[in-house]
Chain A
Amino acid sequence: MSSDFKELQSRWASSKKNIELSAANFDNLYKKIKHKEKENYVFYYGTITTLLITLIVISLFFYYVAPVQETLSRIGAGLMIFGLVFRIFVEIISIYKAKQINNLDTTLKAAENSIKFHQFRKTIHQVIAPIIIGLYTVGFYMITPEFSLYMKFWNVVLIDISYVVIGIILFIIIRKGVKKEMQKLQDIMRLKNDITE
């Protein structure tokens, strides 16, 4: 094999010479770099921005539009807001963990950091997200009695039913997310085994 492998190496080297550096279009490459920077920004900060906007809108709603008076409703509104704040906090940790995956690290270290990140994402989808949705849901149904004082009965029923529909959609999205994270996790664990075996 050693002589064969030397032959392979020489074939590899001569083939590399044939890979011409087509007049490198750096302008185009720099454009792609800019585009990628934007993409990364959305990847890291897209979710957190959406959550922050939702938090601001809900807080303003409870402060200016519908300042609930009853204790039960206030606790409900508090639970909804707390759920969102907690989710934002979790997202910040997630961004921190994602940034730990560094292309400059050794393959083994990058794989280990990827495993940590995806295990955390799995925990978010499997444990944290359902708890937050639960808090949000309990909070939502705690404020509906006071809302029903100012709204028509059927409007309240409609809001409650639409919330269930949203809940089902969220469940499907979360389930999909868990499956995706599990698959990624398995892939990286297999990779780590391949590195260390």
Chain B
Amino acid sequence: MRKSKNEAFETMYRQHHSMVLQMCLGFVEGDKDTANDLSQEIFISVWNNLDKFRGASSYKTWIYRITVNTCLQYVKKDRKETPLSKSEIENQTTDKDEEKPKFDDIPKLYSAIGQLKKIDRLIIMMVLENQDYISISEVIGIKPINVRVKIHRIKKRLEKILKNNTDE
């Protein structure tokens, strides 16, 4: 029994680790250490809940729910978090003088995502993961139509942030 649980867990880990870690990176503005800690928390929660998976939703929806909830709970624990200043964001990204196409820099994208509201960060990352409105609504718990409106707003906000960051 334990062996089969281990096997299921390890398969799930291999399949979804990169997705989970990337979402964590986006959530914590590219801070690798924090993202690693957070992804570990998520997989500990996956392990603890593995027996409860009933197949009512897909494994991916299931993992997304755990990822989103763990990320949000993590923020609850950490009150010291402060938004990065513009100069800090610049330092986190690559060479300032290097002219690159608008979205050619993933750290810049992490920084931009990090300037959104916490729930918006997670929603937009699910969109970046090519999840449709219905899947996202199953994770968040609001109607697909509301998800659609929300995503439209978040995209606009993200576009503005990216534009401002590129202009500066």
Contacts and interface: CB of A to CB of B under 8 A. Distances in A.
Interface of A: 1, 4-5, 7-9, 11-13, 15-17, 19, 21, 24, 26, 29-30, 32-33, 36-37, 103-111, 114, 183-184, 187-188, 191, 194-196
Contacts, number: 112
Given A11-B103, A12-B22, A16-B22, A106 B138 contact: yes
Interface of B: 6, 10, 13-14, 17-19, 21-22, 40, 43-45, 47-49, 52, 62, 65-66, 68-70, 72-73, 75-76, 79, 102-104, 106, 109, 117-120, 122, 127-130, 138-142, 155-156, 159
B13 A107 contact: no
Contact of A105 (B65, B75, B156): B65
Across the A-B interface, the 7 shortest Cβ-Cβ residue pairs: A106-B141, A108-B141, A12-B128, A19-B18, A103-B69, A15-B106, A194-B119
B109 A8 contact: yes
B137 to A, nearest CB: 9
A109 B142 CA distance: 10
Contacts of B155: 1, 5
A1 to B, nearest CB: 5
A33 B139 CA distance: 25
A1 B43 CA distance: 34
Contact of A110 (B6, B10, B21, B69): B69
Given A4-B159, A12-B22, A33-B44, A196 B117 contact: no
Given A29-B40, A110-B69, A183 B79 contact: yes
Contacts of A108: 140-142
Contacts of A196: 142
Contact of A103 (B49, B102, B130): B49
A32 B13 CA distance: 15
Contacts of B49: 103-104
